Amino acid sequence: MPDQGGITVGELLLAEYQTVKDEQKARIGFRDNLLYVTLAVVAAVVAAAAQAERAAMLLALPPVCVVLGWTYLVNDEKITAIGHYVRDELGPRLARLAAADDTFPTFGWEAYHRGDTRRRARKTIQAAVDLTAFCAVPLAALTVFWASGDAGGPLVALSVLEALTVAGLAAQILLYMRPAPPRA
C-alpha cells in the first residue's frame, strides 16, 4: 500500500509483534528471577527458624512459596500464550498480507525452537525444578514443623490448610506442564 500519511496494516502488525515480544521478554526476566527470590526467602526463613529454634517459623514458607510459585506459573503461561499468538495469529496474518509463500515461514523461530528433540526432557526437568522450589520445599518445612512436636491446635490446623494449598499449586504446575490443545 502506498503511504498516504497513515499507517499500513503491516506496520500495525509489526508494531504489535514488537509490543508482545517486549512483554514476553519482560515476563521471562521476571519469571526467572522468581526462582532466585524463592531460594533467598527459603534460606532466610530456614536460617531464622534454626537460629530461634522455633519450628513454627517454618509456617511462613508455604504461603510465600505458593504466592511466588503461582506468580511464576501465571507468567510462564503468559509467555507461552504470547508465543502461540505470534505463531498462530500474528505470523499468518502478516504472511497473508505480504503474500508470502511457505518457503520461509513468518517468524520462523517461534516454531523452529519448539522442534528441538530435547525439548520434552527440558520441560519435564523444569517442572521438577518448579515442583521442588515451590512445593517440595514448603512441604518439607511443614514436615519439620509437624515432627517438632511444639505445635498447638490452631497452628496444626493452619499447617494442614497450607499443605492443601501447596498440593493445589503442585496440581496446577502439572496441569500447565501439559501442552495446550490446539485452538479452533
Give tens-digit pLDDT for 92-140: 888 888 776 666 667 767 776 677 788 888 889 999 999 999 999 999 9
Grid coordinates representing 105 are 515461514
Q: How far apart are the C-alpha atoms of 130 and 79, rounded to whole Å?
A: 16
Query: Do the beta carbons of residue 56 and residue 145 sit within 8 Å?
Result: yes
Predicted confidence band of residue 183 (pLDDT cuts 50, 70, 90): low
- 12-41 pLDDT per residue, tens: 889 999 999 999 999 999 999 999 999 999
Check if the beta carbon of residue 107 is closer than 8 Å to that of residue 87. Answer: yes
pLDDT at 3 > cutoff 60:
no
Q: Which residues contact 160 (CB under 8 A, 6 or more apart)?
A: none
What are the cell numbers at 157?
490446623
What whole-number percentage of the chain has pLDDT above 90? 63
Please report how many Cα atoms fall inside a 13 Å half-sphere around the Cα of residue 53, on the Cβ side. Answer: 0
Classify residue 59 by its DSSP letter: G
Under 8 Å CB-to-CB from 73, ≥6 apart: which residues? 130, 169, 172, 173, 176
Q: Are 175 and 71 in contact (CB under 8 A)?
A: no
Residues 6+ apart with CB under 8 A from 35: 72, 129, 133
Output 50 or 105, whichever has higher pLDDT: 50
